[in-house]
Amino acid sequence: MSDKITTARFELFVYAVLLCIVTAIFWSTLDLPTSTREPLGSASIPQIVSVIVAIFCIILILRSLRAQRAAAAAPATEADALQSVEAKAPSAYRRRTDKAAICFGLALVFAFALDQRLVNAAILTPAFLLALMLVLQGFRPRSILPSVVIALLVGITTTYVFKHFFYIDLP
Amino acid sequence: MDAFLSATGHILTPIPLLWCFLGVTLGIIVGAIPGLSGSMLITMTVPLTFFMGSSYDALILLIAMYVGSISGGLISATLLRMPGTPAAIMTTLDGYPMAQRGQVGRALGLGITASFVGGVISWVFLIALSPTLAVWATYFGPWEYFTLVLMALVLIASLTQGSMIKGLLAGFLGMLASMPGVDPSTGMLRLTFGFNSWAGGFNLLPVLLGVFVVSQVLKYIIDAERPVTRIAASNKGMFMTLADWKRQATNLIRSSVIGTWIGILPGIGASIGSICAYTAAKNMSKTPEKFGTGFDDGIVASEAANNATIGGALVPLVTMGIPGSVIDAILIGALLMHNLQPGPLLFVTDPEVPYTIISTHLIANFMMLAVMLVSVKWISKLILVPTAYLMPVILMFCLVGAYSLQNQPFDVWVTLAFGVLGFVLEKIKVPLAPFVIGFILAGLAEAELRSGLMASAGSIEPLFTRPISASFLAVSLFMLVWSFWGEWRRSRTQAGGAAA
Amino acid sequence: MKSILKIAVAATAISAAGLATAADYPEKPIRLIAPFAQGGSTSNAARVMAKAIEDNDLLPVPIIISYVPGAAGTIGARQVKDADPDGYSALIWHVAANGSQAMGNVDFGPDDFELVAGTDRKCYMIVVRETSEYQTLTELMEAAKANPNTIISADNLGGANHIASVLAEDSLPGAAFRHVQFGGTAKTYPALLGSHAEVNASSPSALSSTTTKGLRVLGYMGPERHPDYPDVPTFKELGYDTEFCMYSWWFMPKGTPADRVAVLRDAMVKAMDTDYLHEQTKAQGVEHIIITGDELKTVMEAEKTKISAIGARLRGE
């Protein structure tokens, strides 16, 4: 039940963010010049699309609010029962949102290092791979050695191939 | 015809055959591993195809991957009760129960054979329809293309499962994401928010890598501890008997035709094709109650149809340059990057290109049959590779691949950003396929509409007076009204049920 | 042409003498940015030149090409503009160098670079459908004057074919086409064949790559007739005083030492003389030339003046 409410709140949050984004887009199209060749110009289509997106967001927000209120009023509807059955089956395992977040954080660090050319790619890629593998394995001692070997092998080969065979301008 | 023969002749030489074999095998393996899909494999391969020398070989590799990946899904659907690719979702319903009963070989064999038949039947449509349609499409002008794209967008939004509004939201969000950068019509800059790096817009491949690869990797990591039980594969009873063939003939043909037709409709692909064929088979069966319990007809309908959508989906791709499915959209991107403008003109200027696609589709189907029958036992062992090693490598390839496209770190950031977006959208059940189709088609739709307006000096009259564009428009409107009405009715019955 | 070569030879001799002092250049690969996708004609020109220089050992280091496509080349160009002027960055670009500035999309242009050389001339030609009612250029131009703004020209707005089409209509006062966005050759050709547009400006290399089947060439915008189309009159012959040719421009970042610019230029001049480059330019349907020195300045200035004069019309204002 609580899981459902967090999901609904998350949904509301996403639509709200989308609304902000489309407002920003609409606002930024206002100073685009019009065209003499046809009536639309560069600005019209982005404006139309952002208005449509905004309308959909508002409909979905209203819908989600109504569903929440209905759920709070009558917690045991048929649809609810169906969903809780669905939810029960996969909830037998632990969802590792924490690991996914750490991995994404590592990916951001990797992208930043690539962007700023901080480290040579031949060091950066294996390090990135190793870090990810260790996070996913949970630092089990038995898995460290194969992880190191695979990370070094894949990382260095990839860097070499991309740099010297494909002429990619990696740091 | 000459072009067809020379294209086929080219494919039947050792090196193209090798690429074809590699593509099919990789496709099957990736298709079989749950969490990895054909879209992922093809997106990640496109940047590498620039180093292949021949763009024909690149096409051969990509089409072979397409065929392999849609077929490979049946292995994990049967053995793990998890579709290896979304396309195989209906196969789990009957494949897994049959395998549980101990008829593993039979379940796999039915799926493989049906896939092959579906592929070949759709190929017949592909080669029969394409050249004629291409001639017809040569006369398409801006208005026709605009309404065709509009129809594709409505179709995909209304036929994706779940909420129509969410489908449409996804489509329009995709359109919005494609708009920063150079205006596709007049070449003016817009929506760059003052960032120089946004001038080129968000490129297709980084967006796809984000939406399909990064988001899926994240999702996979979250669900990595989901317990699975695997049934061991077996070759026993893999070949269909004559009696089987007789019993399944109608089902095979019907499902393949449905699959092909769904494939031809722009924008929608294998999953929907297989659902429609499964439903049709169930509705027409004398024993509908047997579906879902490990019934032959269920496996055959699902697998024949999902493979048939490939050939169908290639029809609008080679004739009009409009994607018939999400993977086709990636293929169009790849063609453009290889400097080939997909569209009716391709049959005139470079007939080898469409015919390479067409011939590869057929040969890849034969190769798929051979590879699957011979090696399904070994491939089934690969489907549970330790994710802790696989996912990091995929993520790294995806980021380095994005960087290498144009030597720009900006693309890496785009990939990560769209990865988060894809993950979030999927989490709140907004479908990703309309997003991608919207992203790809928005520029085309806008450019065509504005070209039409420039040509008509600002009048929208041709939209209604040109017969083809008027009929496309009518179909789109009908689909829109029909699906909204359907959704409204559904929500009313649901509300009624809740009140009772 | 000959005089250019002579200057080039002299320049080589000077730079050879200067090598004693500048001997430490180049000591690492030169990064050449081609601001377009691989396979396009400018990207091909870059690849062919780099290969000719490398295969004939005209430079002690290789030239490494990075393809940075997007926004008519301005993204890659900006990278070179902002790069260190140490002689290890170079750019190949075309008429968009002037066009993008005239469009108002970027605030920089050729003046913000050191100009190395211009190569590969492609002059545009005006084509119509074979079944078109316009048999000659004069008929077309007079019709465009009699009914201005009705004859549809298939253009890539802001691009080379648009510039060429605008210059063509300008050669007869009062004549005007209706410019409609279609895109590159892959889009304009079907637009002509499908009767969605009437006229198009196209380069000979684009024409030969699609085949001229179904098209009629009315006029050529070069200084003299094109060898592959001996029957097609030039605009000047028919009394229309206009010319439009596109060049590949080679740039280095502003402030790159003159002797380092000269090293690359000399290598290019020598590369132009190799059989390999001769064959390749011929295969791609472009004129095999290299312009340097004063002539380079004049040609670039002329292009700039021509395009900035029609800037407002390119923007559609």
Contact C31 A169 (CB under 8 A): yes
| CA distance to A8, B167, B429, B432, per residue, from A64 (Å) | 7, 16, 13, 20
For B422, residues 6+ apart whose C-beta sits below 8 A from its C-beta are B210, B211, B212, B214, B215, B216, B432, B435
pLDDT digits (tens, 9 = 90+) for B22-54: 999 999 988 888 777 888 888 888 878 877 777
**Strand pairing of C287-291 and C113-123?**
antiparallel
C312 versus C113: the higher-pLDDT residue is C113
How many Å apart are CA B199 and CA B191, to the nearest integer? 9
The answer to whether C120 touches C46, Cβ cutoff 8 Å, is no
How many Å apart are CA A107 and CA A115, to the nearest integer? 12
> Which of C:50-69 have CB within 8 Å of A?
64-66
Report the half-sphere exposure of C300 (CA within 13 A, side-chain side). Answer: 25
Domain that holds residue B281: 2-499
How many Å apart are CA B463 and CA B452, to the nearest integer? 9
pLDDT digits (tens, 9 = 90+) for A28-78: 888 887 777 778 888 889 999 999 999 999 999 998 888 888 877 765 544
DSSP state of C234: B
Q: How many CB atoms lie within 10 A of CB B166?
A: 19
Read off the pLDDT band of A3 (50, 70, 90).
Answer: low
| Percentage of chain C exceeding pLDDT 70 | 87
Contact B497 A78 (CB under 8 A): yes
- pLDDT beneath 70, residues of chain B: 1, 159-162, 187, 267, 339, 494-500
The string of DSSP codes covering A100-153 is HHHHHHHHHHHHHHHHHT-S-HHHHHHHHHHHHHHHHHTS-HHHHHHHHHHHHH
What pLDDT score was predicted for residue C42? 81
Q: How many CB atoms lie within 10 A of CB B361?
A: 22
Is the per-residue pLDDT at C237 higher than 70?
yes
Residue of A6, A44, A104, A159 to mutate, testing the B interface (most B Cβ within 10 Å of its Cβ): A104
A96 close to B (CB below 8 A): yes
Q: Which two tokens stand for residue A73?
A: 């009023």
Closest to C234 (Cα-Cα) out of C220, C214, C248 = C220
Residue of A132, A143, A159, A160 to mutate, testing the B interface (most B Cβ within 10 Å of its Cβ): A132
Closest partner residue to C316 among A36, A167, A169, by Cβ?
A36
Q: Which two tokens stand for residue C226?
A: 């094109």
Strands (E), chain C: 30-34, 63-67, 89-93, 113-123, 125-129, 152-155, 178-181, 199-202, 215-220, 245-253, 287-291
What pLDDT score was predicted for residue B380? 79
The mean pLDDT value for C117-133 works out to 88
How many Å apart are CA C169 and CA C62, to the nearest integer? 45
| CA distance to B122, B207, B345, C110, C192, per residue, from B352 (Å) | 20, 30, 12, 40, 23
Contact C65 A35 (CB under 8 A): no
C22 close to A (CB below 8 A): no
What pLDDT score was predicted for residue A83? 47
Q: How many CB atoms lie within 10 A of CB B305?
A: 38
Closest to C165 (Cα-Cα) out of C214, C219, C86 = C219
Closest CA–CA distance from residue B456 to any residue of chain C (Å)? 9
Is the per-residue pLDDT at C8 higher than 50?
no
Q: What is the CATH number of domain C2-120+245-315?
A: 3.40.190.150
Residue of B nearest to C317 (CA): B186
What value, to the nearest 5°, has the Cα angle with vertex B289 and ends B287 and B293?
110
Lowest-pLDDT range, A104-113, B221-230, C15-24, C214-223? C15-24
Closest CA–CA distance from residue B407 to any residue of chain C (Å)? 7
CA atoms C86, C90, C94, C99: torsion sign: negative
pLDDT digits (tens, 9 = 90+) for B199-228: 778 888 889 889 888 988 898 888 877 777
Single-letter amino acid, residue C259: D
Contact C317 A169 (CB under 8 A): no
pLDDT digits (tens, 9 = 90+) for B353-365: 899 999 999 999 9
How many Å apart are CA B300 and CA B94, to the nearest integer? 10
The mean pLDDT value for C89-109 works out to 82
Q: Which two tokens stand for residue B444?
A: 């085309």
A146 close to B (CB below 8 A): yes
C75 close to A (CB below 8 A): no
In SS3 terms, B115-160 reads as HHHHHHHHHHHHHHHHHHHHHHHCCCCHHHHHHHHHHHHHHHHHHC
Q: Which two tokens stand for residue B168?
A: 């449409």
Q: What's the structural domain count of chain B? A: 1
What pLDDT score was predicted for residue C18? 42
Q: Report the residue count for chain A.
A: 171
Is the per-residue pLDDT at A91 higher than 60?
no
Instruction: With a threshold of 0.90, tell me whether the complex ipTM lies above it.
Output: no
pLDDT digits (tens, 9 = 90+) for C247-278: 888 898 888 888 888 888 888 888 888 888 77
Q: Return the residue matching tokens 């449409």.
A: B168
**Strand pairing of C113-123 and C245-253?**
antiparallel
How many Å apart are CA A150 and CA C275, to the nearest integer? 48
What pLDDT score was predicted for residue B160? 66
Q: How many CB atoms lie within 10 A of CB B452?
A: 26
| CA distance to A21, B59, B76, B220, B225, per residue, from B228 (Å) | 40, 36, 11, 14, 9
Per CATH, C2-120+245-315 and C125-220 having the same topology is answered yes
pLDDT digits (tens, 9 = 90+) for C55-72: 888 888 888 887 777 677
| Percentage of chain A exceeding pLDDT 90 | 35
Kindly list the domain boundaries of chain C, sorted by start residue.
Answer: 2-120+245-315, 125-220
Is the per-residue pLDDT at C22 higher than 60?
no
Residues of A in contact with C31 (CB under 8 A): 169
A25 close to B (CB below 8 A): yes
How many Å apart are CA B41 and CA B55, to the nearest integer? 18
Q: Which two tokens stand for residue B292?
A: 């879902």
Contact C315 A37 (CB under 8 A): no
What pLDDT score was predicted for residue C23? 60
What pLDDT score was predicted for residue B345? 74
Q: Which residues, in sequence order, are bridge partners of residue C179? A: C153
The answer to whether C205 touches C248, Cβ cutoff 8 Å, is no
Residues of C in contact with B203 (CB under 8 A): 70
Chain B interface residues (partner C, CB cutoff 8 A): 50, 138-142, 181-182, 185-189, 196-197, 199-201, 203, 337-339, 341, 343-345, 348-349, 406-408, 447, 450-451, 454-455, 457
What pLDDT score was predicted for residue A20? 94
Neighbours, chain B (3 or more CB pairs < 8 A) = A, C
Single-letter amino acid, residue C281: T
Contact A18 B183 (CB under 8 A): no
For C219, residues 6+ apart whose C-beta sits below 8 A from its C-beta are C125, C126, C137, C168, C232, C233, C234, C235, C238, C240
Residue of B nearest to C211 (CA): B349
Q: What is the CATH number of domain C125-220?
A: 3.40.190.10
pLDDT digits (tens, 9 = 90+) for C278-290: 777 776 667 778 8
The answer to whether B197 touches B399, Cβ cutoff 8 Å, is no
The answer to whether B438 touches B208, Cβ cutoff 8 Å, is no
Q: How many CB atoms lie within 10 A of CB C280?
A: 20
What pLDDT score was predicted for residue B155? 77
Is the per-residue pLDDT at A2 higher than 60?
no
